Structure 1
Amino acid sequence: MARAFILIAAMWLVLTGSTVPASPEKFQIACQKLPFPFKTKARPIDGSCGNEGDSKGTAKGRQNAVKNNLCSEGDAVTLSFEDFMSLQKQAKDRHVPFGGDGFGPTRVEHLPEDRSVLSSAHFRTAGGRPIGEGDKVRIVAFMDDPHAADVGSGEDVNCHNPKAADNDIHINLVERPAPAKPGKNDPDAEQKKAARQVALCGAIVAEVIPHFRPDIFQAQFLARIAARNTPVRISGQLFFDAAHRPCEGSVPQDSSVRGSLWEIHPIYSIDVCKHKTLHQCPAASEAVWVPLDQSIGMFEMLATRLMSLFTSEEDDDEERKDEHLGE
């Protein structure tokens, strides 16, 4: 009787094309210790979305796995904006594939099949030091517009989860504060948006992933720091996001505007400078840096948490809606 039931069930699956739903894949950490300087714990996404996201076994999945690497070790190499732009030129000169065509399910991305082409065997800083994807790096910059990306649509790397808690925190890093976004009813909105895009064409991107994300790395806290126009020191993994296209000069070529596809992704630590200019905030001078959690006072943290209870996580900013369209 049991054998007959199994046979009938198998025939039904063949005829209907149905499959048994796969059990959720857990996120795996390949090192003994997480890189964050703060206490943290597993989040719901860690039990339901694996390292390769929704594209396991593909070039996209391999890129996702690198995006999710929390195990880069050693001392962070300090990079400059010049280094990131130089690395972009080197990638182009070496014919590393990047960019995408189309939108949604028909989008075709040009990703490296073998990511060893991005290793330090092939790339150098502007000063000639070997550097490559997977290395631990840091930069001193101003943060611009930290926000939860892909809210509502989700991103492949995060298994297309729609909620802010399950998506990356996207941050623009700039050498000088970028022009503010225009208001919705601003009569000069187009001019201001164009000026902002020119500024972001000199930016690089850094992202906090949702896996094991410390609470202090949430967008509402980072936005507090960004609003101060104070330099930050951001450390993490050097990563080449081949799904996008960088600006050509001051002209955006992609919905996610940046000057280089080389990112700091994921972010491991953020420190805040005691001073206001990049010149006053050298990366190696520990005396000028304050850890993020100490820079945001207890009262400010409580006020930010209370405010988040009365604001929606849904992103109504038109500039962001198509930021990672099709990914």
Structure 2
Amino acid sequence: MRRSNWTTRRIILFALLVLVFYLLLRSYQAPQPSPQPDIPVLISTEAAPGGPLPADTAAPGPAATAAAGPAGGLPDMPRKPRPAGSDFQGCPPAGDGGDTALNQLKNRVDEGDYAPVSFDAVAQLAWPQAIERKRRSDWPAADARDIAAHEGTPIAVEGYLAGAKEEGPESTNCHGADAQFRDFHVWLVDQPSTDRSGAVVVEVTPRLRAKHPAWSIDTLTQLVHAGSHVRISGWLMFDPEHPEQIGKTRGTLWEIHPIMRIEVERRGQWVALDQLQ
């Protein structure tokens, strides 16, 4: 009986050893996972909906912002704001004919961030003579690019007024017969008592004059006689229509058109013309 029990124990022990050996053998033969290649982590530079852009993908600044140019020079402004116009007494920004693209520039009413530039920066600015007296639709592409490099820049120029005159009916203002449809031609010069032969023409348009009753011919003429130092702010524009006036009643075909602000120097401070009336 004792011998039988001992035999049974030996069989059980042997079975356990076999089982342990089998389990150890299986663990050594189990396949190891193959190494995975390094996968780069992709970081998106796209902003989440409604969230800010990452710092290195900042959105470009507003179109009206100009990089500073040389002291007194025209700023570098590759992208310029699209002119915003409005109907005036039934007259659309494109006028009633003529060069409608030019009319839309003349009839803009939007404000800008006006960069201070010297008088000479405008008076000495060149242009392609081949486009004189031609509609914009007929300009060669290269000439149009030359003008577009500067036209539509919001600028502020200091100087003195050499005269102011109400103009006649024109397509820009739908050939309106009433005085409310007339532009005011104003001549800006760099020194007091200078004639108009080297002047920059700056224009008061009906749309802006309706907002500034003080901008009258009488008031502007008073500034001429007083030799007042003024600052004119508005949009730089090229008007190809009057090359015959060069050296007579203007020094350039570049204009500030329309005028958006008229300021007068008083005791070292700039005061809006509206506040002086």
Is residue 2:176 matched to residue 1:137?
no
2:198 alignment partner, SS class: coil
Matches within 5 A, 1:215-254: 215-245=213-243, 250=247, 252=248
Q: Which amino acid aligns with 2:108?
A: N
TM score, norm. by length of structure 1: 0.53
Q: Which amino acid aligns with 1:292?
A: L
1:217 alignment partner, SS class: coil
Distance 2:143 2:260 in 1: 21
Instruction: Name the residue aligned to 2:264.
Output: 272
Is residue 2:235 matched to residue 1:211?
no
Is residue 2:184 matched to residue 1:169?
yes
Q: Which amino acid aligns with 2:270?
A: W
Instruction: Name the residue aligned to 2:118.
Output: 80
Distance 2:208 2:184 in 1: 13
1:234 alignment partner, SS class: strand
1:132 alignment partner, SS class: coil
Q: Which amino acid aligns with 1:171?
A: V
Larger Rg: 2
Q: How many residues align?
A: 193
2:243 alignment partner, SS class: coil
The Cα of 1:225 is off from its aligned counterpart by 2.2
The Cα of 1:176 is off from its aligned counterpart by 2.1
Is residue 2:181 matched to residue 1:147?
no
Is residue 2:52 matched to residue 1:52?
no
Distance 2:182 2:159 in 1: 23
Instruction: Name the residue aligned to 2:273.
Output: 292
Matches within 5 A, 1:308-323: none
Distance 2:150 2:142 in 1: 9
Distance 2:189 2:264 in 1: 15
Structure 1 pair 112/51, CA: closer, same or farther in 2 (3 Å)? same
Stretches of structure 1 that go unaligned for 5 or more consecutive residues are: 1-28, 35-41, 100-109, 124-129, 180-198, 276-286, 297-327
Stretches of structure 2 that go unaligned for 5 or more consecutive residues are: 1-81
TM score, norm. by length of structure 2: 0.61
Matches within 5 A, 1:255-266: 257-266=249-258
Q: Which amino acid aligns with 2:184?
A: I
Structure 1 pair 258/54, CA: closer, same or farther in 2 (3 Å)? same
Structure 1 pair 267/48, CA: closer, same or farther in 2 (3 Å)? same
Distance 1:86 1:166 in 2: 31
